[in-house]
Amino acid sequence: MDKSFAREPIYIVGPTGSGKSSLAMKLALLMDGVIISADSMQIYKTLDIGTAKESVENRSKVRHEMIDIVDVDSEFSVAEYAVQARQHIKDVLDAGKTPIVVGGTGLYFEALFYPMSFGKTNKDEKVRSRLESELEQFGAEYMHDKLAEVDPETAEKLHVNDTRRVIRALEIAICGGKTKSESRDEMEKPNVLVIGLNTDRAKLYDRINKRVEIMFEEGLVNEVYSVGSFDYQSMKAIGYKEFAVAKPAKNADGKFVLDKNAEEEIKTTIQKNTRNYAKRQLTWFRRYDFVNWFDVEDHEGAIRFVQEKLLKNPQN
């Protein structure tokens, strides 16, 4: 039987280290797909190892979008991501191919699943200025607590130090009269094909620990210090911010290196922070009751499920 598949976006979600990119590659090769990243760090140029970007070889086999699109010293909003990603999805579908959106940034998927919940409240410069003054005066924890009072669900998802999004959520609640979570809950459940990857905690944590080990072997230390500034928003993320406490030297090859003890301490901290991040990612994605979950090692089951969902005229 000559199988013909319907063309619609396939979304792959899950915690870091769960093998989402590997599954996306397999699906793309099977279904003439284009991969669209939903990772808030892979958008940055030069940050390759610490963001676990797909290899150059794999990107030559399958087209990837929303990777390496802004400089490390640039800001990039969720709304900007949604506009560009939706355009890529449309272009891929128009070309008769399958868009495969993959990543672990919950806000990016939220913006695609519930587009009206982002950017619908206009910016109010007076309110924004007042909130920023409060942040400067009272600190990040105070602002996060303030958000928790008016929009506890959004506060639970945002890290206390993610002050830009905390302030935006407060601005929406103050100016729009509705919280971001209320705006989303009023909308219909999206009709989307979403695959989630997960496994038991011990196995996931082991995968994360090994992944960090590989990043160091591939040259993460030199990548981090080659960028040159921890003032960049992009350098405040896990896998980069931890290096700000150490001072590197250069070896005979001109590459940045760390004292072995310092490197091991930073590696352990990154592993711990990444494990905690994975827990937050799972909390986020488990809210979506339309996700179809598979074990991280069950790629065959996930692929079979997708093909059955998209197969045209299955009775033939």
Q: What is the CATH number of the domain that holds 155?
A: 1.10.20.140
Total domains, the chain: 2
Q: What's residue 205's pLDDT?
A: 98
Q: Are residues 57 and 157 in the same domain?
A: no
Domain hosting residue 154, numbered range? 125-182
pTM of the model: 0.81
Q: Are residues 175 and 216 in the same domain?
A: no
Residue type, 6: A
Q: What's residue 112's pLDDT?
A: 93
Positions of the chain with pLDDT under 50: 1-2, 316
Q: What's residue 296's pLDDT?
A: 97
Q: Which two tokens stand for residue 255?
A: 């590459």
Q: Are residues 5 and 43 in the same domain?
A: yes
3 state SS of 62: coil
Task: Say how far apart CA 132 and CA 192 lie, in whole Å.
Answer: 37
Closest CA to 40 of 105, 106, 84, 85: 105
Q: Are residues 133 and 93 in the same domain?
A: no
Q: What's residue 2's pLDDT?
A: 45
Q: Are residues 161 and 205 in the same domain?
A: no
The pairing of strands 249-250 and 256-257 is antiparallel
Q: How many CB atoms lie within 10 A of CB 189?
A: 10
Q: What's residue 181's pLDDT?
A: 59
Task: Say how far apart CA 96 and CA 217 lie, in whole Å.
Answer: 40
Q: What is the CATH number of the domain that holds 278?
A: 3.40.50.300
What letter does residue 234 receive in the DSSP assignment?
G
Q: What's residue 34's pLDDT?
A: 98
**Cα dist from 77 to 51, 59, 219, whole Å:** 18, 25, 29
Q: What's residue 316's pLDDT?
A: 45
